[in-house]
Structure 1
Amino acid sequence: MLATFLLRGGVGLLLMGLLTSCPAGPQHSLLDEDIDSSNSEAFQRQMMRNQARLGPLFHLRETGFDVECIYGPQDLTELALQLTAELAQLPAVCVREELDEQAREFVTVVQIEGRQYQFRTSAESDWAELEKIMPVLAQIARELRPAYQFEVLNPPYDQTAEVVYGRRTDLLRAVARGYPCSLPDGHWDYDKWPARLYTDVHVARLPPFDTLRRHYQRNLQRLHQAGYRVPNLTLPRLYFTDLLKSGHIDICIDGQEMVASEQVLPGPTVRCSDEGWGVLLAYTLTRDFHGEPTLLDRETNTRQPILRADYLRRAEAAFGRRQPDPPSN
């Protein structure tokens, strides 16, 4: 989630993200001077509407800040108190702030209900390192308010960050309705599909994005109910588009501007990546739209046709089965 956050931020940061976060292989062209960002802007507007509508409905509190805001330990203290005393309304006070010369980090220690918590961020840039700050907030919630949690929102798609705080049950319900916040259940947990093994799926006709999205979600739900290790996402958590109108199927999850970008080739053929989202897209096109899959080894650039039924079995084997829940006492 944090890696996604660091790469987001309107079209400019989306392009930077495409340079660093897309899987190897065909990507959006970054050389076209006439990039059409209207789909990206429409996606961002929809996510911010979801945030504005669902946050108050589920009693979620939010706060925002410029991530380039740390020039000394006093700035880290201000941010730590903004997140604890103001956002979470905890009785937090700063008991120490300093520069750790050896680690080259600013340090702030806050005390809440008799316990002390240490926040750190690099002193060598003005960037608030959320990958160091958010675990401290998670510890605070776990120890002091176990029914609540802090999370980073995916909007507003610029260099500001927004953190949400609320009851875990309310946050889960809001995200299920489309609140743009990444949760652990929105990530893949599988490792049996070979790296750099792509799938080219030829279809007679590419389905509309909304139709494809609905079939994709039904397959996630069906596989999850059958015990496979796939994200169990509701339909509002999925958004399919072509962000830059460059001949791609961009899969956006929980308001992340892009978790996967699959290229549409002439034919039409969809080139699906080796990551979970791409494998499931190939699975959906093969199963529900009579797609004809061909495996493409990106290391050797060799192709291997595969029967539809064999591909579906291979994908399901790669997803793997969840461990059964431990028996309750």
Structure 2
Amino acid sequence: MLLFSGACHQPKSYSSQMNPRFEAYEARLTELETSLASEFDIDILEFDVECIYNIENLSQLVIDMLELGDFKFDTIKSGHNTTERFYYYTIKISDKQYEFRTSSRTDWVDLDYIMPVLESIVENHKRTYMYAFSNIDGGQIARLVFSEKEKLALAVDRGFPCSLPHSHFKVNIDWPHGLYSEVKYHEIPNMDELTDEFHKELKYMYNIGLDVPNLNRERIFIGSKYEDDLIEIFIDGGYVSSSTNKISEDHIQCFWNVSGIILANTLVKNYGYTVRLLDKTTGEYKYLSNVEYANKVQKAIGRRN
């Protein structure tokens, strides 16, 4: 079910400069969100993240968020702290009180404060459920998700555009900060084909026990969102790529995080391209054989517990 917050709501805007492949990817994610939300009983609330002009806006937004989860609550108080300059809205569920706040210095919704309060409510009163966000790009329109945890995990595995812990690339790996992988290419691969090969490599790594997410193909986009000289990797849509890799005249400079080194390994292993490491700090190069590089990547990622 899709709901709209009464706090305020603006239509989504599109950029005419976006890569048509990325637009098609987002359109497919939108289709998956709609179909899988229906199949797995996932409820969604759209709201404008720049909509707080008074205490009534905060109160209405919180009410909409709580009604999304079908919580029964009593309003205790609401107001404006003019000294510290924040709006507040306090509610009670059963015997527990919860206070929502957002700054009155700006019209932005302070989700860093509001989301932990929602998570506490779920943990205390409906612990088999969860709040999350859809990754559909709505500009300043956010899409809050409420669902049973197990159902949402199943939907995400099928392509529902939402980031969950089990579908993230790990952040900390045994790979030095600033160590690029520069892959010398004969020709730039077709991006749809590269996405297929990246997915195959990811699946292979998962199957041999490496600590990578088990993603289906539809959740992955590889290519440029706007600029032609970049290879960006997006998982489940969203505003920010998991890695940005730059194309130069004869090589692709792959970023030093997990998705970047997996991309480089895909190019080396599946296309037969050669690789060298560039230390951003010293400017020094180190050449590795394809086997040496693959072993280094696997060691850096590590195995699942």
**2:135 counterpart residue number:** 154
Deviation at 1:181, TM superposition (A): 1.1
> Structure 1 residue 139 and structure 2 residue 116: aligned?
no
Which amino acid is 2:261 matched to? V
Which amino acid is 1:286 matched to? V
Which amino acid is 1:124 matched to? R
> Structure 1 residue 265 and structure 2 residue 265: aligned?
no
Change (3 A) 1:196 1:209: same
Q: Distance in 2 between matches of 1:35 and 1:110?
A: 44
Q: Distance in 1 between matches of 2:248 and 2:14?
A: 24
Paired residue secondary structure (1:229): coil
**1:203 counterpart residue number:** 185
Paired residue secondary structure (2:281): coil
* Bigger mean CA offset, 34-43 vs 295-304: 34-43
Q: Distance in 2 between matches of 1:11 and 1:202?
A: 35
**2:102 counterpart residue number:** 121
Q: Distance in 2 between matches of 1:83 and 1:141?
A: 12
Which aligned pairs between 1:81-100 and structure 2 lie closer than 5 A? 81-85=63-67, 87-100=68-81
TM-score normalised by length of structure 1: 0.82
Which amino acid is 2:117 matched to? V
Q: 1:276 aligns with which of 250, 255, 258?
A: 258
Which amino acid is 2:243 matched to? A
Structure 1 contact 182–255 (Cα < 8 Å) conserved = no
CA RMSD of aligned residues (A): 2.2
Paired residue secondary structure (2:189): coil
> Structure 1 residue 221 and structure 2 residue 221: aligned?
no
Paired residue secondary structure (1:294): strand
Paired residue secondary structure (1:199): strand
Change (3 A) 1:202 1:10: farther
Structure 1 contact 70–125 (Cα < 8 Å) conserved = yes
Q: Distance in 2 between matches of 1:191 and 1:124?
A: 39
Q: 1:242 aligns with which of 224, 234, 251?
A: 224
Q: 1:185 aligns with which of 166, 181, 187?
A: 166
**1:55 counterpart residue number:** 37
Q: Distance in 2 between matches of 1:176 and 1:191?
A: 24
Deviation at 1:121, TM superposition (A): 1.5
Deviations 1:177-234 (A, max 9, x none): 2111111223232232111111111233443223222222232233233332222222
Identity in percent: 28
**1:80 counterpart residue number:** 62
Structure 1 contact 39–245 (Cα < 8 Å) conserved = no
Paired residue secondary structure (1:194): coil
Structure 1 contact 44–157 (Cα < 8 Å) conserved = no
Change (3 A) 1:10 1:44: farther
Q: 1:233 aligns with which of 203, 215, 235?
A: 215
Paired residue secondary structure (2:237): coil
Deviation at 1:176, TM superposition (A): 1.4
Change (3 A) 1:226 1:292: same
Between Structure 1 and Structure 2, how many residues are aligned?
A: 292
Deviation at 1:101, TM superposition (A): 4.3
Q: Distance in 1 between matches of 2:102 and 2:116?
A: 12
Change (3 A) 1:40 1:236: closer
Deviations 1:71-119 (A, max 9, x none): 223321211110012x111102321213334543222112123322221
Deviations 1:283-303 (A, max 9, x none): 111122212111112223332
Which amino acid is 1:63 matched to? L
> Structure 1 residue 254 and structure 2 residue 240: aligned?
no
Which amino acid is 1:307 matched to? S
Structure 1 contact 238–253 (Cα < 8 Å) conserved = yes
